[in-house]
Amino acid sequence: MSIRFRAVHSGPGSSREGRGLFLAVISNSILSWTLAAVLLFWAVGAYNRLVRLRAEAQTAFAGVEAEFTKQVELVSKHLPGAEFTQPAGLEAESTFWAGLQGAARQFAASLAAVRTRPLDARRMAALNAACDVLVVAWETAQRDEAHDLAGPRLPDSLLARRSQLASQTHAAIEQFNAAVVRYNEAIVQFPALLLAWLFGFEPGLPLAASLGDVAPAR
């Protein structure tokens, strides 16, 4: 008894179908990898842009800090402290300077707190509040001096220096606020906002500080 084997050969049609399936798989794979690469490059680019905008805001605040420091020094170095007036029994004179000295110390503390994180909204809000207190202290001192029969206690040179610093401070504040606006706009744009959420990019608070807007020296 003999057994016959019959070989099964693939026809031309079957071969073409196999090649077509193979090419389709390769094409889909290439498309997937291409899409993944594009998304990766986009994510890296978008992340780098957010980092750059954040760095620009931080750099701009360094200029603001320099001007704010000069205004603190204007009070601490050029105005007499309470320790120089109390021993002489000039309590009214001591009170006159105490408001400015205390406001300047509070402002300096708030400035130190925001120095390393100028885009922290809560710290910036505290700095804005401290700035307003210092401005009110200056206004109070000038108002009280205007009604002082003993004569002026704020030298003209001091007030002129303050006006000069105010102009410089105003320019620095505008530059910082513009940088904050660009940064804030970037982190809420889709789909960059996904990266902002993932990596903790939080919106910053512009400076509403009024040290850059003072009355001119008399």
What is the tally of structural domains in the chain? 1
Indicate whether 125 belongs to any domain.
yes
DSSP state of 217: P
Indicate whether 18 belongs to any domain.
no
Q: CB–CB of 192/46 below 8 Å?
A: yes
Q: Which of 129, 128, 110, 215 is nearest to 176 (CA)?
A: 128
User: Average pLDDT over the chain, rounded to whole?
Assistant: 81
Q: Which helix (H) or strand (E) holds 56?
A: helix 12-78
Indicate whether 207 belongs to any domain.
yes
pLDDT of residue 5: 46
pLDDT of residue 92: 52
Task: Return the structure tokens found at 96.
Answer: 């006159």
Indicate whether 145 belongs to any domain.
yes
Res. 35 pLDDT band, cuts 50 70 90:
confident
Indicate whether 99 belongs to any domain.
yes
Indicate whether 10 belongs to any domain.
no
Give the range of the structural domain holding residue 115, as residue numbers without chain letter.
64-211
Task: Return the structure tokens found at 65.
Answer: 């800090």
The predicted-structure confidence for 108-133, as pLDDT tens digits, reads as follows 999 999 999 999 999 999 999 999 99
The predicted-structure confidence for 131-178, as pLDDT tens digits, reads as follows 999 999 998 888 876 555 555 567 788 888 999 999 999 999 999 999
| Contacts of residue 130, Cβ cutoff 8 Å, sequence gap at least 6 | 103, 106, 107, 109, 110, 111
Helix runs in 79-153, H state only: 82-85, 91-114, 121-146
Indicate whether 93 belongs to any domain.
yes
Indicate whether 117 belongs to any domain.
yes
pTM: 0.76
